[in-house]
Amino acid sequence: MSEMFEGKTAIVTGASRGIGSGIATTLADHGATVVINYRSSEQRATEVVEEIEADGGTAVAVQADVSDPADVEAMVEATVDQFGAVDILVNNAGMTKIGPAAELDLEDWRRVIDVDLTGVFIACQIAGRRMREQANGGAIVNIASMMGQMGYHMRAPYCSAKAGVINLTRTLAVEWAPDDISVNALAPGFIQTDITDQTQDSAGYTDEDIRRRTPMARFGTVEEMASCVTFLARGDTFVTGEVLRADGGWTSDAWRYHEGRV
């Protein structure tokens, strides 16, 4: 265990599984006290806490719907009451709805926007206020997506929300730079998680499709995303308002599909 974040407290939203749990455990490995936020998966959140504690770290699970300001306020206040401060916020909670835009139900659109964009704003606003009051700086990392920088079929609400997260990140970075609060975003490509497996089934693409389309010829890993977040959360890099794309070269590749790759 390193001491990179020793004495720091981090809130990671949507941390009961996938990329979120990987980020939480990695921050804890580097010395941070971590708040594992979940909406409904209490058992999985508890398992993440137990994993961190088994490795000698400190973590608690806190239930909150990120689209509900009262829930987020209560989570931030509980964090401050128990640990004294909020130093790092990672906005990872998210969802998607796959389907043709022409047939998309408006309620499905609103729910994705509420969680993936409005939820990020709410958490940034409430935690950011606390960081400013603490006057010790802070770091916010918003999990966006490469799909926030490109169009992708059957993903209208998700792509729109993640594009909003990217520009929200830049705006907050400019506003809060005088308070020594860095605000950056990570834009993952296709990362191998159980959630990815579920969306593949509904969207009709295979592992081989992703491997052929990605210049690095594979999915990214949760551990790689956690390493990216660790860099962005450090707060000692003179980096703010940036979007770190971790997509294996997907959005840089003009060829789009590598038929002959083995």
* Average pLDDT over all residues of the chain: 94
State the pLDDT at residue 67.
98
How many residues would you count in the chain?
Answer: 262
User: Of 38, 158, 205, 257, which residue is the catalytic one?
Assistant: 158
Taking CA atoms, 112 is separated from 7, 80, 105, 222, in Å, by 35, 29, 11, 22
* Cβ partners under 8 Å of residue 242, min gap 6: 173, 184, 185, 232
Which percentage of the chain shows pLDDT scores above 70? Answer: 93
Instruction: Say whether pLDDT at 39 is over 90.
Output: yes
| Fold of domain 9-193+221-246 | Rossmann fold (3.40.50)
What would the pLDDT profile of 187-222 be if each residue is shown by its tens digit? 999 999 876 665 666 566 788 989 999 999 999 999
CA distance 240 to 174: 8
Mean pLDDT of 7-28: 98
158 flagged as catalytic: yes
State the pLDDT at residue 259.
62
Q: What confidence tier does 2 reach under pLDDT thresholds 50, 70, 90? A: confident
State the pLDDT at residue 262.
40
Instruction: Say whether pLDDT at 74 is over 90.
Output: yes
Angle at 87 between CA 66 and CA 49, to 5 degrees: 65
Q: What is the 3-state secondary structure (H, E, C) of the chain?
A: CCCCCCCCEEEECCCCCHHHHHHHHHHHHCCCEEEEEECCCHHHHHHHHHHHHHCCCCEEEEECCCCCHHHHHHHHHHHHHHHCCCCEEEECCCCCCCCCHHHCCHHHHHHHHHHHHHHHHHHHHHHHHHHHHHCCCEEEEEECCHHHCCCCCCCHHHHHHHHHHHHHHHHHHHHHHHHCEEEEEEEECCECCHHHHHHHHHHCCCHHHHHHHCCCCCCECHHHHHHHHHHHHCCCCCCCCCEEEECCCHHHCCCCCCCCCC
CA distance 194 to 97: 16
State the pLDDT at residue 194.
75
Which percentage of the chain shows pLDDT scores above 90? Answer: 87
What would the pLDDT profile of 237-262 be if each residue is shown by its tens digit? 999 999 999 999 999 998 776 665 54
Q: What is the pTM of this model?
A: 0.95
State the pLDDT at residue 1.
64
State the pLDDT at residue 94.
96
State the pLDDT at residue 97.
94
Q: What confidence tier does 107 reach under pLDDT thresholds 50, 70, 90? A: very high
Instruction: Say whether pLDDT at 25 is over 70.
Output: yes
* Cβ partners under 8 Å of residue 133, min gap 6: none
State the pLDDT at residue 260.
54
CA distance 93 to 84: 24
